[in-house]
Structure 1
Amino acid sequence: MTNIDLLPPRITSKFRIDAETGCWRWTGSKARGGYGQLWIAAKKGWRKAHQVTYELLIGPIPDGLELDHLCHTRDRDCPGGTNCRHRCCVNPTHLEPVTHAENLRRGGGVERAAELRRAITHCPQNHPYDEVNTHRNPSGSRVCRTCKREAMRRVRARKKAS
């Protein structure tokens, strides 16, 4: 087990240990993707919390590799995405340096993301994604025609008012 006492209090105060899973859940600031983040003044920028704890307790992440959350790989019930509870785990024993391709494969990658998108039957405004109300972009993403029409009306109204 990794010696948690080697971490500065500034970091350990931002996570809680889940006794059931052994995850160290980050409770501090989170980036858009759901990963824990912290400001590193020496680097003048934000760093992912799991990378910082790994580097402090294990060592540098090898060039060309990224950290895979093994706790996520083992939990097949996790839906993934930005609400994945494993993205906020900073326990370095739950992290393994792997290639990007391997990380995607273990997480279900593109297939899993497509499956999750197909399960969404309505837009955020609760309009149905059906044949009549859905536009497909060249990339394959779906756009709610009702929401798009309402957005264009607001744009035209703003232009007319100015």
Structure 2
Amino acid sequence: MSFSIGPTITTNLTAPPPWYMTPCYVWPWGTHPGGYRMVKVETGQKRYTHRVMYEQVKGLIPDGLQIDHLCRNRACMNPEHLEAVTQQENILRGIGPSARQARQAHCLNGHLFDRANTYMYKGRRQCKTCQYERNLRTRARAAARASG
């Protein structure tokens, strides 16, 4: 599949790319603000290069799935670095706040997040041990104020 780049340059995405110096294939044109790369296909529409490459090499992206960059490089379009996954899997594999919190096994005070010691409050995991200790401190301060 060929793609036009500008008025006179045409390239073939399936040809070995000469412009990369790492295992990632980085498309040198069409930078998108989010770090992804864009290419204009024959229909004139702009598409993400990693999605085009995945479809060229591995087939159509199944409905409900996204393409995950296993290398964590959004500009990469190496088909070996691309995998179709659910949105939840893609988020959890990432490095954002949701992924970091999901991987967190202990609270900030070192107590284990397990069924017996964890409850949900406003959509976030909370440590029962820490809450119990906060309640004890609050009651102690209230008793100290009351006695005087």
Which TM-score band applies after superposition, normalised by the shorter structure? Answer: 0.5 to 0.7
Question: Which of 1 and 2 has greater Rg?
Answer: 2
Structure 1, gaps ≥5 residues long: 1-6, 73-85, 115-162
Q: Distance in 2 between matches of 1:24 and 1:61?
A: 19
**Taking structure 2 as the reference length, what is the TM-score of the superposition?**
0.54
* Contact in 1 for aligned 2:91/2:98 (Cα 8 Å): no
Kindly indicate whether residue 16 of structure 2 is the aligned counterpart of residue 17 of structure 1. Answer: no
Within 5 Å, which residues of 2 pair with 1:56-135?
56-72=56-72, 86-111=73-98
The runs of at least 4 consecutive aligned structure 1 residues that moved more than 2 Å come to 11-18, 108-114
Structure 2, gaps ≥5 residues long: 3-9, 102-148
Name the amino acid aligned to 2:36. Answer: Y
Of the two structures, which has the highest relative contact order with CA contacts closer than 8 Å and spacing of 6 or more? 1
CA RMSD after TM alignment = 2.6
Deviations 1:105-127 (A, max 9, x none): 1003334699xxxxxxxxxxxxx
Change in 2 beyond 3 A, CA 1:100/1:112:
closer
